[in-house]
Amino acid sequence: MIDSNIENDLRVGYTFDDVLLIPQRSTISSRKDTNLQSNLSKNIRLNIPIISANMDTVTESNMAIKIASLGGIGIIHRFMTIEEQINEVLSVKRSEGIMIDQPVTIGQDGNVGQVKELMSLHKIGGILVKDDLNKLLGIITKRDLFFEYNDKKSVKEVMTKDLITAPEGTSLDDAKTIFINNKIEKLPIVDSSDELVGLITSKDIYKRDKFPISSKDGKGRLRVGAAIGVREEDVDRAIKLTEAGADTIVIDIAHGHSNHTINMISKIKDKIGNADIIVGNVATAEGTKDLIESGADAVKVGVGSGSICITRIVTGAGVPQLTAISDCVSVAKEHNIPIIADGGIRTSGDITKALAAGASTVMIGSMLAGTDESPGVIVSRPNGRYKMTRGMASLGAAVDRRIKETNSIDEQEMLEYVPEGVEALVQYRGQASEVIGKLVGGLRSGLSYCNAKDIIELQNNSKFIRITGAGKAESGAHDVHIVE
Protein backbone atom coordinates (compact mmCIF):
# COMPACT_ATOMS: atom_id res chain seq x y z
CA MET A 1 0.00 0.00 0.00
CA ILE A 2 1.29 3.46 -0.91
CA ASP A 3 1.65 5.93 1.91
CA SER A 4 -0.86 8.76 1.59
CA ASN A 5 2.00 11.20 2.33
CA ILE A 6 4.05 10.00 -0.60
CA GLU A 7 4.05 13.46 -2.18
CA ASN A 8 5.90 14.82 0.85
CA ASP A 9 8.61 12.16 0.48
CA LEU A 10 9.19 12.35 -3.25
CA ARG A 11 12.31 14.02 -4.60
CA VAL A 12 12.33 15.86 -7.90
CA GLY A 13 14.54 14.29 -10.54
CA TYR A 14 16.08 16.47 -13.25
CA THR A 15 17.41 15.79 -16.70
CA PHE A 16 19.36 17.97 -19.12
CA ASP A 17 16.43 19.97 -20.53
CA ASP A 18 15.25 20.90 -17.03
CA VAL A 19 18.23 23.15 -16.32
CA LEU A 20 20.68 25.63 -17.79
CA LEU A 21 24.15 26.69 -16.71
CA ILE A 22 24.33 30.29 -15.53
CA PRO A 23 26.83 32.30 -17.63
CA GLN A 24 29.70 33.84 -15.62
CA ARG A 25 32.32 36.50 -16.14
CA SER A 26 34.97 34.74 -18.20
CA THR A 27 38.72 35.14 -18.29
CA ILE A 28 38.95 32.64 -21.19
CA SER A 29 40.20 34.66 -24.17
CA SER A 30 39.53 31.87 -26.69
CA ARG A 31 37.72 28.57 -26.48
CA LYS A 32 40.83 27.03 -28.04
CA ASP A 33 42.57 27.70 -24.72
CA THR A 34 40.34 25.19 -22.92
CA ASN A 35 41.67 21.76 -21.96
CA LEU A 36 39.26 18.83 -22.38
CA GLN A 37 41.41 16.10 -20.84
CA SER A 38 39.60 13.90 -18.36
CA ASN A 39 39.83 10.49 -16.70
CA LEU A 40 38.07 7.56 -18.31
CA SER A 41 38.91 5.33 -15.36
CA LYS A 42 41.21 5.29 -12.39
CA ASN A 43 44.25 4.73 -14.59
CA ILE A 44 43.31 5.90 -18.11
CA ARG A 45 43.13 9.52 -19.22
CA LEU A 46 41.55 10.78 -22.44
CA ASN A 47 42.17 13.97 -24.40
CA ILE A 48 38.46 14.51 -25.05
CA PRO A 49 35.75 13.20 -22.68
CA ILE A 50 33.82 11.26 -25.30
CA ILE A 51 33.26 7.48 -25.57
CA SER A 52 31.44 5.67 -28.37
CA ALA A 53 28.87 3.26 -26.98
CA ASN A 54 29.28 -0.51 -26.95
CA MET A 55 26.27 -1.04 -29.24
CA ASP A 56 26.28 -3.29 -32.31
CA THR A 57 25.08 -0.39 -34.47
CA VAL A 58 27.72 2.00 -33.14
CA THR A 59 31.14 0.63 -32.23
CA GLU A 60 33.32 -1.86 -34.01
CA SER A 61 36.94 -1.29 -35.03
CA ASN A 62 36.26 1.45 -37.62
CA MET A 63 34.48 3.64 -35.07
CA ALA A 64 36.98 2.82 -32.32
CA ILE A 65 39.91 3.82 -34.55
CA LYS A 66 38.29 7.09 -35.54
CA ILE A 67 37.25 8.22 -32.07
CA ALA A 68 40.59 7.24 -30.52
CA SER A 69 42.40 9.24 -33.21
CA LEU A 70 40.33 12.25 -32.13
CA GLY A 71 41.25 11.83 -28.46
CA GLY A 72 38.39 9.71 -27.11
CA ILE A 73 37.86 5.95 -26.97
CA GLY A 74 35.49 3.37 -28.43
CA ILE A 75 34.13 0.30 -26.66
CA ILE A 76 33.78 -2.76 -28.92
CA HIS A 77 30.35 -4.31 -28.33
CA ARG A 78 30.07 -7.88 -27.04
CA PHE A 79 27.40 -9.25 -29.37
CA MET A 80 29.79 -11.34 -31.44
CA THR A 81 31.96 -14.38 -30.87
CA ILE A 82 35.06 -14.08 -28.71
CA GLU A 83 37.24 -14.54 -31.79
CA GLU A 84 35.42 -11.79 -33.67
CA GLN A 85 35.69 -9.38 -30.76
CA ILE A 86 39.40 -10.14 -30.34
CA ASN A 87 39.96 -9.40 -34.04
CA GLU A 88 38.16 -6.07 -33.67
CA VAL A 89 40.45 -5.15 -30.78
CA LEU A 90 43.53 -6.28 -32.72
CA SER A 91 42.42 -4.21 -35.73
CA VAL A 92 42.45 -1.10 -33.55
CA LYS A 93 45.78 -1.94 -31.95
CA ARG A 94 47.45 -2.68 -35.30
CA SER A 95 46.06 0.42 -36.98
CA GLU A 96 48.71 2.67 -35.46
CA GLY A 97 51.70 2.51 -33.15
CA ILE A 98 55.25 3.56 -32.44
CA MET A 99 56.10 0.11 -33.69
CA ILE A 100 53.88 -2.86 -34.45
CA ASP A 101 55.61 -5.43 -32.24
CA GLN A 102 53.61 -8.39 -33.52
CA PRO A 103 53.06 -7.72 -37.22
CA VAL A 104 51.04 -10.21 -39.23
CA THR A 105 53.38 -12.61 -41.03
CA ILE A 106 53.28 -15.62 -43.34
CA GLY A 107 55.77 -18.27 -44.41
CA GLN A 108 57.18 -18.37 -47.93
CA ASP A 109 55.35 -21.65 -48.57
CA GLY A 110 51.98 -19.94 -48.15
CA ASN A 111 49.91 -18.88 -51.14
CA VAL A 112 48.27 -15.76 -52.52
CA GLY A 113 44.82 -16.85 -51.36
CA GLN A 114 46.03 -17.07 -47.75
CA VAL A 115 47.62 -13.64 -48.02
CA LYS A 116 44.33 -12.14 -49.23
CA GLU A 117 42.46 -13.76 -46.34
CA LEU A 118 44.92 -12.39 -43.79
CA MET A 119 44.74 -8.90 -45.28
CA SER A 120 40.95 -8.98 -45.16
CA LEU A 121 40.80 -10.43 -41.64
CA HIS A 122 43.23 -7.95 -40.12
CA LYS A 123 42.30 -5.00 -42.36
CA ILE A 124 45.90 -4.39 -43.41
CA GLY A 125 47.68 -3.70 -46.69
CA GLY A 126 50.92 -5.61 -46.27
CA ILE A 127 52.23 -8.86 -44.78
CA LEU A 128 55.83 -9.69 -43.94
CA VAL A 129 57.28 -13.03 -45.01
CA LYS A 130 59.63 -14.89 -42.66
CA ASP A 131 61.13 -18.35 -42.27
CA ASP A 132 60.78 -20.81 -39.39
CA LEU A 133 63.66 -19.12 -37.54
CA ASN A 134 61.92 -15.71 -37.65
CA LYS A 135 64.35 -14.41 -40.31
CA LEU A 136 62.82 -11.79 -42.56
CA LEU A 137 62.56 -12.92 -46.20
CA GLY A 138 60.34 -10.34 -47.88
CA ILE A 139 57.00 -8.56 -47.98
CA ILE A 140 53.74 -8.75 -49.91
CA THR A 141 51.56 -5.66 -50.25
CA LYS A 142 48.23 -5.04 -51.95
CA ARG A 143 50.17 -3.48 -54.80
CA ASP A 144 51.83 -6.85 -55.43
CA LEU A 145 48.39 -8.44 -55.75
CA PHE A 146 46.69 -5.95 -58.08
CA PHE A 147 46.97 -8.25 -61.12
CA GLU A 148 47.52 -11.53 -59.32
CA TYR A 149 44.48 -13.76 -59.93
CA ASN A 150 46.01 -17.16 -59.16
CA ASP A 151 45.31 -17.75 -55.48
CA LYS A 152 47.40 -20.93 -55.53
CA LYS A 153 50.56 -19.09 -56.49
CA SER A 154 53.18 -19.31 -53.76
CA VAL A 155 54.20 -16.41 -51.58
CA LYS A 156 57.83 -16.96 -52.60
CA GLU A 157 57.00 -16.17 -56.21
CA VAL A 158 55.10 -12.97 -55.47
CA MET A 159 56.91 -11.36 -52.53
CA THR A 160 59.29 -8.44 -52.77
CA LYS A 161 62.79 -9.34 -51.56
CA ASP A 162 65.87 -7.27 -50.65
CA LEU A 163 63.99 -5.08 -48.20
CA ILE A 164 65.25 -1.93 -46.54
CA THR A 165 65.27 -2.57 -42.78
CA ALA A 166 66.26 -0.69 -39.65
CA PRO A 167 67.77 -1.85 -36.34
CA GLU A 168 66.04 -2.05 -32.98
CA GLY A 169 65.84 1.33 -31.29
CA THR A 170 65.20 3.29 -34.48
CA SER A 171 63.28 6.45 -33.58
CA LEU A 172 60.19 7.61 -35.46
CA ASP A 173 62.08 10.65 -36.71
CA ASP A 174 64.84 8.43 -38.08
CA ALA A 175 62.21 6.15 -39.63
CA LYS A 176 60.57 9.17 -41.24
CA THR A 177 63.90 10.09 -42.87
CA ILE A 178 64.28 6.55 -44.20
CA PHE A 179 60.77 6.66 -45.66
CA ILE A 180 61.44 9.98 -47.39
CA ASN A 181 64.88 9.03 -48.74
CA ASN A 182 63.86 5.60 -50.02
CA LYS A 183 60.24 6.28 -51.01
CA ILE A 184 58.95 3.23 -49.12
CA GLU A 185 55.88 2.80 -46.91
CA LYS A 186 56.86 -0.06 -44.58
CA LEU A 187 60.04 -0.43 -42.54
CA PRO A 188 60.71 -3.82 -40.89
CA ILE A 189 62.73 -3.64 -37.67
CA VAL A 190 65.30 -6.40 -37.09
CA ASP A 191 67.71 -7.28 -34.29
CA SER A 192 71.44 -7.96 -34.53
CA SER A 193 70.70 -11.49 -35.78
CA ASP A 194 68.42 -10.18 -38.53
CA GLU A 195 65.38 -11.62 -36.77
CA LEU A 196 62.13 -9.71 -37.18
CA VAL A 197 61.11 -7.75 -34.08
CA GLY A 198 58.56 -5.29 -35.44
CA LEU A 199 57.29 -2.98 -38.17
CA ILE A 200 57.02 0.79 -38.56
CA THR A 201 54.78 2.18 -41.29
CA SER A 202 54.74 5.60 -42.92
CA LYS A 203 51.01 5.69 -42.25
CA ASP A 204 51.65 5.57 -38.50
CA ILE A 205 54.00 8.54 -38.67
CA TYR A 206 51.53 10.45 -40.84
CA LYS A 207 48.73 9.77 -38.34
CA ARG A 208 50.94 10.86 -35.45
CA ASP A 209 51.41 14.23 -37.14
CA LYS A 210 47.78 14.56 -38.30
CA PHE A 211 46.14 13.49 -35.00
CA PRO A 212 48.37 14.89 -32.24
CA ILE A 213 45.83 14.36 -29.43
CA SER A 214 44.88 10.78 -30.26
CA SER A 215 44.38 8.43 -27.30
CA LYS A 216 47.34 6.05 -27.14
CA ASP A 217 48.76 3.43 -24.83
CA GLY A 218 52.39 3.16 -23.73
CA LYS A 219 53.35 1.50 -27.02
CA GLY A 220 51.89 4.31 -29.11
CA ARG A 221 48.87 2.22 -30.14
CA LEU A 222 45.34 3.60 -30.18
CA ARG A 223 43.36 2.87 -27.04
CA VAL A 224 40.26 0.68 -27.20
CA GLY A 225 37.87 -0.92 -24.74
CA ALA A 226 35.78 -4.07 -24.99
CA ALA A 227 32.47 -5.00 -23.39
CA ILE A 228 31.51 -8.26 -21.69
CA GLY A 229 28.45 -9.59 -19.87
CA VAL A 230 28.17 -11.38 -16.53
CA ARG A 231 28.01 -15.03 -17.54
CA GLU A 232 30.72 -17.49 -16.56
CA GLU A 233 32.16 -17.64 -20.09
CA ASP A 234 32.63 -13.87 -20.00
CA VAL A 235 35.56 -14.34 -17.61
CA ASP A 236 37.47 -16.15 -20.34
CA ARG A 237 36.36 -13.49 -22.82
CA ALA A 238 37.78 -10.76 -20.58
CA ILE A 239 41.11 -12.57 -20.20
CA LYS A 240 41.52 -13.04 -23.96
CA LEU A 241 40.48 -9.46 -24.74
CA THR A 242 43.05 -8.14 -22.27
CA GLU A 243 45.72 -10.37 -23.83
CA ALA A 244 44.75 -8.96 -27.24
CA GLY A 245 45.45 -5.46 -25.94
CA ALA A 246 42.11 -4.07 -24.75
CA ASP A 247 42.87 -1.11 -22.48
CA THR A 248 39.71 -1.50 -20.43
CA ILE A 249 37.04 -4.14 -19.90
CA VAL A 250 33.47 -2.88 -19.62
CA ILE A 251 31.09 -5.07 -17.62
CA ASP A 252 27.83 -3.92 -19.10
CA ILE A 253 24.29 -5.00 -18.27
CA ALA A 254 21.05 -3.04 -18.09
CA HIS A 255 20.75 -3.26 -14.29
CA GLY A 256 24.31 -3.05 -13.05
CA HIS A 257 23.42 -2.88 -9.37
CA SER A 258 23.06 -6.64 -9.03
CA ASN A 259 24.82 -9.59 -7.43
CA HIS A 260 25.69 -10.91 -10.90
CA THR A 261 27.67 -7.75 -11.64
CA ILE A 262 29.39 -7.57 -8.27
CA ASN A 263 30.43 -11.23 -8.50
CA MET A 264 31.80 -10.68 -12.02
CA ILE A 265 33.96 -7.77 -10.84
CA SER A 266 35.55 -10.05 -8.24
CA LYS A 267 36.18 -12.81 -10.78
CA ILE A 268 37.80 -10.45 -13.30
CA LYS A 269 39.96 -8.76 -10.67
CA ASP A 270 41.04 -12.18 -9.41
CA LYS A 271 42.09 -13.33 -12.90
CA ILE A 272 43.50 -10.06 -14.27
CA GLY A 273 44.12 -7.79 -11.33
CA ASN A 274 45.79 -5.05 -13.35
CA ALA A 275 42.86 -4.63 -15.73
CA ASP A 276 40.94 -1.36 -15.68
CA ILE A 277 37.29 -2.33 -15.23
CA ILE A 278 34.39 -0.05 -16.08
CA VAL A 279 31.07 -1.25 -14.66
CA GLY A 280 27.43 -0.30 -15.24
CA ASN A 281 24.79 0.70 -15.56
CA VAL A 282 23.50 2.19 -12.33
CA ALA A 283 21.48 5.29 -11.42
CA THR A 284 21.88 5.58 -7.64
CA ALA A 285 24.49 6.43 -5.04
CA GLU A 286 23.96 3.03 -3.44
CA GLY A 287 24.65 1.23 -6.71
CA THR A 288 27.76 3.30 -7.29
CA LYS A 289 29.05 2.59 -3.78
CA ASP A 290 28.59 -1.16 -4.13
CA LEU A 291 30.35 -1.31 -7.51
CA ILE A 292 33.28 0.79 -6.31
CA GLU A 293 33.71 -1.26 -3.14
CA SER A 294 33.73 -4.38 -5.33
CA GLY A 295 36.63 -3.03 -7.38
CA ALA A 296 35.21 -0.92 -10.24
CA ASP A 297 37.72 1.55 -11.73
CA ALA A 298 34.90 3.63 -13.26
CA VAL A 299 31.12 3.51 -13.04
CA LYS A 300 28.73 3.96 -15.94
CA VAL A 301 25.55 5.85 -15.04
CA GLY A 302 22.23 5.81 -16.86
CA VAL A 303 19.10 3.67 -16.63
CA GLY A 304 16.51 4.26 -19.33
CA SER A 305 17.93 7.56 -20.58
CA GLY A 306 19.08 6.46 -24.04
CA SER A 307 17.09 7.49 -27.12
CA ILE A 308 16.36 3.88 -28.10
CA CYS A 309 15.81 2.63 -24.54
CA ILE A 310 12.32 2.01 -23.14
CA THR A 311 13.33 0.54 -19.79
CA ARG A 312 11.49 3.25 -17.86
CA ILE A 313 8.29 2.65 -19.83
CA VAL A 314 8.43 -1.14 -19.60
CA THR A 315 9.63 -1.49 -16.01
CA GLY A 316 8.67 1.81 -14.38
CA ALA A 317 12.24 2.07 -13.04
CA GLY A 318 14.90 4.72 -13.60
CA VAL A 319 16.21 8.09 -12.48
CA PRO A 320 16.30 11.23 -14.66
CA GLN A 321 19.85 11.45 -15.96
CA LEU A 322 21.15 14.68 -14.46
CA THR A 323 19.98 13.69 -10.99
CA ALA A 324 21.42 10.20 -11.47
CA ILE A 325 24.80 11.67 -12.39
CA SER A 326 24.79 14.00 -9.38
CA ASP A 327 23.80 11.24 -6.96
CA CYS A 328 26.43 8.83 -8.25
CA VAL A 329 29.16 11.48 -8.27
CA SER A 330 28.48 12.26 -4.61
CA VAL A 331 29.80 8.80 -3.74
CA ALA A 332 32.36 8.31 -6.51
CA LYS A 333 34.32 11.48 -5.73
CA GLU A 334 35.00 10.19 -2.21
CA HIS A 335 36.87 7.27 -3.80
CA ASN A 336 38.39 9.24 -6.71
CA ILE A 337 36.53 7.03 -9.19
CA PRO A 338 35.31 8.59 -12.47
CA ILE A 339 31.66 8.59 -13.51
CA ILE A 340 30.65 8.01 -17.14
CA ALA A 341 27.34 9.61 -18.15
CA ASP A 342 25.74 7.07 -20.48
CA GLY A 343 22.56 8.08 -22.28
CA GLY A 344 20.38 11.09 -22.90
CA ILE A 345 23.06 13.12 -24.70
CA ARG A 346 21.49 14.92 -27.68
CA THR A 347 23.55 18.10 -27.95
CA SER A 348 26.95 19.52 -27.01
CA GLY A 349 25.12 21.49 -24.33
CA ASP A 350 24.02 18.22 -22.73
CA ILE A 351 27.66 17.14 -22.58
CA THR A 352 28.60 20.38 -20.82
CA LYS A 353 25.78 19.87 -18.29
CA ALA A 354 26.73 16.22 -17.66
CA LEU A 355 30.34 17.15 -16.99
CA ALA A 356 29.35 20.15 -14.88
CA ALA A 357 27.24 17.81 -12.75
CA GLY A 358 30.37 15.78 -12.02
CA ALA A 359 30.74 13.18 -14.78
CA SER A 360 34.26 12.75 -16.12
CA THR A 361 33.21 11.51 -19.55
CA VAL A 362 30.08 10.88 -21.59
CA MET A 363 29.10 7.86 -23.67
CA ILE A 364 27.35 8.52 -26.97
CA GLY A 365 25.32 6.07 -29.03
CA SER A 366 22.63 7.24 -31.43
CA MET A 367 24.45 10.46 -32.35
CA LEU A 368 27.25 8.33 -33.80
CA ALA A 369 25.05 5.54 -35.20
CA GLY A 370 24.32 7.62 -38.30
CA THR A 371 27.97 8.12 -39.27
CA ASP A 372 30.13 6.43 -41.90
CA GLU A 373 32.18 4.62 -39.26
CA SER A 374 29.26 2.83 -37.59
CA PRO A 375 28.39 -0.73 -38.69
CA GLY A 376 25.54 -1.12 -41.16
CA VAL A 377 24.52 0.35 -44.47
CA ILE A 378 22.90 3.63 -45.46
CA VAL A 379 19.16 3.34 -46.07
CA SER A 380 17.53 5.72 -48.56
CA ARG A 381 14.03 7.05 -47.96
CA PRO A 382 12.07 9.71 -49.89
CA ASN A 383 12.84 12.26 -47.17
CA GLY A 384 16.53 11.51 -46.71
CA ARG A 385 19.22 8.96 -45.91
CA TYR A 386 19.40 6.99 -42.67
CA LYS A 387 21.24 4.25 -40.80
CA MET A 388 19.70 1.81 -38.34
CA THR A 389 20.27 1.87 -34.61
CA ARG A 390 18.81 -0.28 -31.89
CA GLY A 391 18.89 -0.78 -28.17
CA MET A 392 20.81 -3.84 -27.09
CA ALA A 393 17.69 -4.97 -25.21
CA SER A 394 15.52 -4.69 -28.33
CA LEU A 395 13.84 -7.77 -29.82
CA GLY A 396 15.99 -7.68 -32.95
CA ALA A 397 19.19 -7.57 -30.90
CA ALA A 398 17.94 -10.44 -28.74
CA VAL A 399 17.18 -12.59 -31.79
CA ASP A 400 20.57 -11.91 -33.37
CA ARG A 401 22.31 -12.60 -30.08
CA ARG A 402 20.49 -15.91 -29.70
CA ILE A 403 21.45 -16.99 -33.21
CA LYS A 404 25.12 -16.13 -32.65
CA GLU A 405 25.21 -18.01 -29.36
CA THR A 406 23.25 -21.15 -30.27
CA ASN A 407 22.77 -21.10 -34.06
CA SER A 408 19.06 -21.47 -33.41
CA ILE A 409 15.98 -19.59 -32.24
CA ASP A 410 13.72 -20.73 -29.44
CA GLU A 411 10.42 -19.36 -30.72
CA GLN A 412 8.70 -19.67 -27.35
CA GLU A 413 11.55 -17.86 -25.64
CA MET A 414 11.37 -15.03 -28.16
CA LEU A 415 7.60 -14.78 -27.75
CA GLU A 416 8.06 -14.41 -24.01
CA TYR A 417 10.94 -11.92 -24.33
CA VAL A 418 10.03 -8.44 -23.10
CA PRO A 419 12.18 -5.89 -24.97
CA GLU A 420 13.49 -2.80 -23.17
CA GLY A 421 14.80 -1.20 -26.35
CA VAL A 422 13.59 -0.33 -29.84
CA GLU A 423 14.96 -0.42 -33.37
CA ALA A 424 14.93 2.87 -35.25
CA LEU A 425 16.40 4.84 -38.12
CA VAL A 426 18.69 7.79 -37.41
CA GLN A 427 19.57 10.44 -39.95
CA TYR A 428 22.80 9.88 -41.85
CA ARG A 429 25.37 12.32 -40.48
CA GLY A 430 28.49 11.79 -42.61
CA GLN A 431 31.87 11.25 -40.99
CA ALA A 432 32.15 10.73 -37.25
CA SER A 433 34.91 13.34 -37.13
CA GLU A 434 32.39 16.00 -38.19
CA VAL A 435 29.96 15.02 -35.43
CA ILE A 436 32.69 14.84 -32.80
CA GLY A 437 34.16 18.15 -34.00
CA LYS A 438 30.86 19.96 -33.46
CA LEU A 439 30.38 18.39 -30.03
CA VAL A 440 33.90 19.31 -28.95
CA GLY A 441 33.50 22.87 -30.25
CA GLY A 442 30.25 23.32 -28.36
CA LEU A 443 31.77 21.88 -25.20
CA ARG A 444 34.72 24.27 -25.39
CA SER A 445 32.27 27.17 -25.71
CA GLY A 446 30.33 25.82 -22.74
CA LEU A 447 33.50 25.88 -20.63
CA SER A 448 34.19 29.48 -21.61
CA TYR A 449 30.66 30.54 -20.57
CA CYS A 450 31.34 28.99 -17.16
CA ASN A 451 34.79 30.61 -16.87
CA ALA A 452 36.46 27.21 -16.85
CA LYS A 453 39.74 26.43 -18.55
CA ASP A 454 39.29 22.69 -17.95
CA ILE A 455 36.72 20.16 -16.79
CA ILE A 456 37.74 20.33 -13.11
CA GLU A 457 37.14 24.10 -13.13
CA LEU A 458 33.82 23.52 -14.91
CA GLN A 459 32.70 21.26 -12.08
CA ASN A 460 33.90 23.71 -9.43
CA ASN A 461 32.53 26.88 -11.05
CA SER A 462 29.21 25.76 -12.51
CA LYS A 463 25.88 27.05 -11.25
CA PHE A 464 22.66 25.48 -12.48
CA ILE A 465 19.27 27.16 -12.77
CA ARG A 466 16.01 25.27 -13.13
CA ILE A 467 13.88 26.37 -16.09
CA THR A 468 10.19 26.14 -16.91
CA GLY A 469 8.59 24.75 -20.04
CA ALA A 470 8.53 28.27 -21.43
CA GLY A 471 12.21 28.65 -20.66
CA LYS A 472 12.95 25.45 -22.53
CA ALA A 473 10.93 26.65 -25.53
CA GLU A 474 12.81 29.95 -25.70
CA SER A 475 16.15 28.12 -25.45
CA GLY A 476 15.99 26.85 -29.02
CA ALA A 477 15.20 28.52 -32.32
CA HIS A 478 11.60 29.75 -32.22
CA ASP A 479 9.08 31.88 -34.11
CA VAL A 480 10.95 31.37 -37.38
CA HIS A 481 10.95 28.93 -40.29
CA ILE A 482 14.36 27.29 -40.20
CA VAL A 483 15.91 26.99 -43.68
CA GLU A 484 19.25 25.44 -42.71
Closest CA to 419 of 392, 437, 393: 393
Pairing of strands 19-21, 38-39: unpaired
Q: Which of 75, 189, 222, 309 is catalytic?
A: 309
As beta bridge partners, residue 464 has 21
Q: What is the rounded distance in angstroms from the CA atom of residue 448 to the CA atom of residue 32? A: 10
> How far out from the chain centre does Cα 243 lie?
18
- The greatest distance separating any two alpha carbons of the chain, rounded to the nearest whole angstrom, comes to 86
Q: For residue 145, give every residue at least 6 positions away whose Cβ sits within 8 Å of its Cβ, in sequence order, or none.
A: 112, 115, 116, 158
Residue 450: active-site member: no
**What letter would DSSP give residue 11?**
P
Closest CA to 93 of 207, 209, 223: 223
Alpha helices in 316-406 (DSSP H): 321-332, 348-356, 366-369, 395-406
Is the peptide bond between 281 and the residue preceding it cis, with omega within 30 degrees of 0?
yes
**What letter would DSSP give residue 81?**
-
Q: How far is CA 101 from CA 66, 85, 140, in A?
A: 22, 20, 18
The residues assigned a catalytic role are 309
